[in-house]
Structure 1
């Protein structure tokens, strides 16, 4: 452990500010949370209006992928959905015809019932014969059966048409889901920028053919960068999550720019020192990685070297 302390002090001395003050407890490089935006749909890139270094807002449509085939499929599905209404049968005209026949029979039945009553009275007065009454009863029975038949026909007609229409309309929901699915795929033809940030790298150009999952460009929010630094085991007890520390960056004029930073992550396992430390003995030492969020004032760049003073927070 004594040897480790000597090596760390030696390294800190080499990395100290030009004035010779040993105020640095850790060092590392700045990095950003980079997002690689990929194509969600295959096809020719109709447009990709971005440039490296360009600042883009979240949600902006920056490109379009050709999806004419999907558009035609969606229009065909919508036409098929509209055609379902034409294929259905309107039961009302047929039912209305049967109801008209039913009304005629019911009027006739009422007339026969009145005639029956009158004939019964005449039979009691010996003014009509029993045969006349029997004939009227027979006509009443025939009319009642006809009414029953028509009523049954109305029910059968309504049930048959309803069943046929249900079968046709059962295709509506799957068709609607297909249209929604095609619409969702069409939306993926638009390349929508996911986060506010700066375009770091552009991988594709207008006119190229892309595929689902193929990278189009890389973007990162540079307003806040992360300094990944390394501390020794002895320093581990000096750090905690949300601790404010001082980050120092060389401004190239024999002095440092000091910025406040917040520790957001501490590694749970030790690792060997980064290979940027070239001596064999130093590479054998174990250190812990920490991440420090630093608000970028425009001076910080990805990959820039930075140092940390744990006990000198701004």
Structure 2
């Protein structure tokens, strides 16, 4: 029983399913109980963060349709929905290219990709990729042909 208990204590369990992004510790290193061993990506919760000017942010509803085109995969148009709109404006982050753009007040918005769609393409799901989020401020307008969903 004691040996079984010690073996069970040494078992690694992830708090959720996901893909290993990188190892925090290497084999043979000692880790305290509850310590972090790997960094996991939850491939069922993928979103893009983008920023909207004050005038546009007030016209965006949660659940609004978004189309994502990644720089590394421009042949694909990924459908998503607005899952978050910040309640407070902020200055444009420094990652934005021009100084004049960085001076403006913007609202942070997240567009989440449907987990059921992600489940169909587990090997293609990547995180941290730059791209463009396209949003219609008038939901009655049709998406242009080049922004119709196109998936692998």
How does the TM-score come out when normalised to structure 2? 0.71
- What CA distance in whole angstroms lies between the structure 2 residues aligned with 1:306 and 1:300? 14
Distance 1:237 1:197, change over 3 A: same
- What CA distance in whole angstroms lies between the structure 1 residues aligned with 2:97 and 2:78? 28
Match of 2:55 in 1: 234
Aligned with 1:265 (options 84, 99, 123)? 84
- What CA distance in whole angstroms lies between the structure 2 residues aligned with 1:305 and 1:208? 35
Match of 2:64 in 1: 243
Equivalent positions of 1:197-216 (< 5 A) are 197-216=18-37
Tell me the C-alpha RMSD between the 2 structures.
2.8
Q: Deviations over 1:163-211 (max 9, x none)?
A: xxxxxxxxxxxxxxxxxxxx7x975432112222110111223322222
Match of 2:126 in 1: 301
Equivalent positions of 1:15-54 (< 5 A) are none
Aligned with 2:104 (options 280, 285, 289)? 285
Deviation at 1:291, TM superposition (A): 0.9
Q: Which gives a bigger RCO, structure 1 or 2 (Cα 8 Å, sep 6+)?
A: 1
Moved over 4 A (4+): 185-188
Deviation at 1:299, TM superposition (A): 4.1
SS at match of 1:265: strand
Equivalent positions of 1:53-202 (< 5 A) are 71=2, 187-202=8-23
- What CA distance in whole angstroms lies between the structure 1 residues aligned with 2:125 and 2:22? 18
Say if 1:250 and 1:256, in contact at 8 Å, map to a contact too. no
Say if 1:250 and 1:257, in contact at 8 Å, map to a contact too. no
Structure showing the higher strand proportion among its residues: 2
Say if 2:72 and 2:129, in contact at 8 Å, map to a contact too. no
Deviation at 1:212, TM superposition (A): 3.0
5+ unaligned residues in a row in structure 1: which ranges?
A: 1-67, 73-182
How does the TM-score come out when normalised to structure 1? 0.37
Count of residues in Structure 1 that have an aligned counterpart in Structure 2? 132
SS at match of 1:234: helix
Match of 2:94 in 1: 275
